[in-house]
A and B are shown apart, each in its own frame.
Chain A
Amino acid sequence: MKKIFVPLKRVPDWQLKVKPSADGLTIDQTNLKWIINTFDEIAVEEAIRIRDKGVGFTEVVLCMIGPKEGSEQLRSALAMGADRAIHIITDEDIDSSQATKILAHIVKRDNYDLVIIGKQAIDSDSGQTAQRLSVRLAYQQASFASKIDVDGESLTVVREVDGGLETLKLKLPAVVSTDLRLNEPRLRSLPGIVAAKKKPVEEIPMSDIPDVGSKKVKVRKLSVPPSRPAGQKVSSVSELISKLKEEKLIG
């Protein structure tokens, strides 16, 4: 009876352009729409598929660290078919090291065999938590997975790396981080949404987690990158060729 743990982050929808707040310390909160981090949603999908294969995993447990309002995204992930969830409640904006300490605490408390987690959050784009968690738990690590095969006590993971694909074989327990091509997350079904409303969610205030440490990565300023100088339309291939010659890009 093995269990899969899937951490989730709530992030601003990438389809809406974010702007810095007036003080430049965070993002403008007006008109934000929140979604489950794209890579975490892929992690939820993969965990459900592994559970449903009948290879010894019986439970998929989600864990979100974030404000109370995040329960909406947590329910949406439960509607995909996860079994239950843990919500670590905080309004603080924590760094990867703190997130790792919180997640490791829960994994140790409940003894999960496999952690599947997004390779990065699409807001901070830091890409650290999976690897940090693997160290902290002394679990095996495979990051940037585009294929996971589970076979009893071991996993074969195909990783997207520079130059091609790498395959690793790991013994459980392990932490695997997801890349985009791992799967396509399912749409929520109506029965799934209804069932999700009744699934257990354990709420824990972040202050109840010991030794989270202080934040050591501090955003001092957010700004919009300088825009490129306006370009121009060319009307034909020959005009393009003469522009490229002017730029000395072709001979």
Chain B
Amino acid sequence: MSSILVYIESLGGQLPKSSLPVISAALKAKSVLSINTVIGVLIGGQGTDEAAKLASEYGLDKILFIKSENAENYMAASYASVFAQIAKDNNSTLLMGPASSKGRDFLPRVSEILDAPQASDVIEILAGYTFKRPMYAGNLIAEVELEGDIKVLTVRTSAFPQPEKLSVSEVTEINIPVLKDENSVFVSYDTVKNERPELGEADIIVSGGRALKSKENFESVMYPLADVLGAAIGASRAAVDSGYAPNDWQVGQTGKIVAPKLYIAVGISGAVQHLAGMKDSKVIVVINKDPEAPIFEIASYGLVGDLFTVVPELIEALKAAKL
């Protein structure tokens, strides 16, 4: 009996909300493709058992987890070989995971190990192992059919809903050794401390572009706007390249793909690669001084004006609206 194997990302006993919709995608695939069993897999160090328990509440048929010292720091090669082994052991024919930086890194390895075709960044699951995915920076949507006994997907999680709490599944620890390769060594992970919501999880995102002109301006203009809205902060590539914002905040074809309820683009022109990352947001507000800026074409509400006067005014008005 074949099964779907879905990689569920965990981090120190927690499940990042941004990658959870992969569970919804797996359940969708189960019904569309009439596969009997969906197995969730967690791989990690400390706390992976707790994360597995959390993952068991969403109606998957089974949860397997590997808790190993050697998996404490993510390494593409070891995660891929473990995941491929679990796929073989469970006769899995459809393998999937989130198109997060880990998923994008190790799932193509799994595909190669199993000599399987892969569809990246899947946004919709159709009958007959056909999947919708964006190509050409989202300018076109492709329907691709995968052929072969085993198929692999990375899933664009912003295109699927958060999973609902359903029946509780059985959780089993498995003991496949996680090998360490001395020729690839993890040195460090430098993360930006951030009290604000994560980009992939936020209902509201405020995003700043090159027009902010400096890191200081970015902080003094965008941060207070984010804080009054309880929003996450995003940035254009130009803003990141210029050092106004950390790389992890970049929204677009080569950054984060987001679809919040409200996206406010401030001083961003609307290059196709930026739009690729945010045009599925529910409401888009644009603040730009150039009435011809292409980003106005996708704006729900566009305000032409100088951001350095408009944004402070907006912050005051939002504060007043809260009272």
Check if A128 sits within 8 Å of B138, measured CB to CB.
no
Q: Which chain A residue shows the least CB distance to B285? A: A240
Size category of the binding interface on chain A: 35 or more
Given contacts A162-B101, A231-B299, A234-B302, contact A124 B109 (CB under 8 A): no
In the complex, what residues of B have CB within 8 A of residue A54's CB? none
CA distance A163 to B214 in the complex (A): 22
Q: A127 and B143 in contact (CB under 8 A), knowing A100-B112, A166-B189, A249-B262?
A: no
Contact B303 A233 (CB under 8 A): yes
Q: Is B136 an interface residue (CB 8 A)?
A: yes
B 195-212 to A, binary, CB cutoff 8 A, 1 in contact else 0: 000000000100000000
Q: CA separation between A162 and B101, bound complex, in Å?
A: 6
Q: Which of A10-18, A55-63, A72-80, A106-114 contacts B (4 or more CB under 8 A)?
A: A10-18
Mark interface residues in B130-170 (1 if CB within 8 Å of A CB, else 0): 10011111111111111110000000000000000000000
- Is there contact, CB below 8 Å, between B120 and A169? no
Q: Residue B185 at the A interface, CB < 8 A?
A: yes
Check A160 for interface membership: any CB of B closer than 8 A: yes
Kindly report which residue of chain A lies nearest to residue B286, judged by CB atoms.
A231
Q: How many A-B contacts are there with CB distance less than 8 Å?
A: 234
How distant is the Cα of A134 from the Cα of B111 in the complex, in angstroms? 12
Give the shortest distance, in Å, between A100 (CB) and chain B (any CB).
7
B261 contacts partner chain A, Cβ-Cβ < 8 Å = yes
Contact between chains at B253 and A225 (CB < 8 Å)? no
Minimum CB–CB distance from A58 to chain B (whole Å) comes to 23
- Cβ of B134: which chain A residues have Cβ within 8 Å of it? 125, 225
Which residues of chain A have C-beta atoms less than 8 A from B37's C-beta? none
Stretch touching chain B among A187-195, A196-204, A216-224 = A216-224
In the assembly, what is the distance between CA of A228 and CA of B164, in Å? Answer: 28
Considering the complex, give the chain A residue whose CB is closest to the CB of B183. Answer: A171
Contact residues, A192-251 vs B (CB, 8 A): 216-225, 228, 231-238, 240-241, 243-245, 247, 249-251
A71 adjacent to chain B (CB < 8 Å): no
In the assembled complex, the Cα of A244 lies from the Cα of B108 at a distance in Å of 42
Q: Which residues of A contact B104 (CB under 8 A)?
A: 127, 143
Q: Which residues of chain B have C-beta atoms less than 8 A from A143's C-beta?
A: 76, 104-105
- A27/B140 in contact, CB under 8 A: yes
B247 touches A146 (CB 8 A): yes
A16 vs B13: C-alpha distance in the bound complex, in angstroms?
46
Q: Smallest distance from the beta carbon of A116 to chain B beta carbons, Å?
A: 16
Residues of A within 8 A of B105 (CB): 131, 143-144, 161
Query: Across the interface, do B303 and A125 meet the contact criterion of CB distance under 8 Å?
Result: no
Q: Are A162 and B248 CB-contacts (below 8 A) given A220-B145, A240-B301, A249-B262?
A: yes
| Contact residue among B112, B118, B148, B184 (Cβ-Cβ distance under 8 Å from A170) | B184
Q: Are B147 and A218 touching (Cβ within 8 A)?
A: yes
Q: Is the CB of B147 within 8 A of A156?
A: no
- CB atoms of B284 and A231 under 8 A apart: yes
Residue numbers in B under 8 Å from A14 (CB-CB): 136-137, 272-273
Q: A135-B80, A181-B241, A245-B321 are in contact. Are A165 and B190 (CB under 8 A)?
A: yes
Do A135 and B254 have beta carbons less than 8 Å apart? no
B180 is an interface residue with CB less than 8 A from chain A:
no
Question: Please, which residue of chain B has its CB at the minimum distance from the CB of A167?
Answer: B187
Instruction: Assess whether B67 is interfacial by the CB under 8 Å rule.
Output: no
Answer yes or no: B1 CB below 8 A from chain A CBs.
no
Q: Which chain A residues lie closer than 8 Å to B144 at the CB level?
A: 217-220
**How far is it, in angstroms, between the C-alpha of A154 and the C-alpha of B127 when the chains are bound?**
47
A223 contacts B317, CB within 8 Å?
Answer: no
Contact B190 A216 (CB under 8 A): no
5 contacts between A and B (CB under 8 A): A95-B117, A128-B108, A168-B186, A228-B298, A233-B302
Known: A135-B80, A179-B254. 20 other contacts (CB 8 A): A97-B111, A100-B112, A131-B76, A131-B106, A136-B112, A140-B77, A144-B101, A164-B246, A165-B189, A166-B190, A170-B183, A216-B117, A216-B148, A218-B147, A219-B142, A222-B140, A222-B143, A228-B279, A244-B285, A244-B301
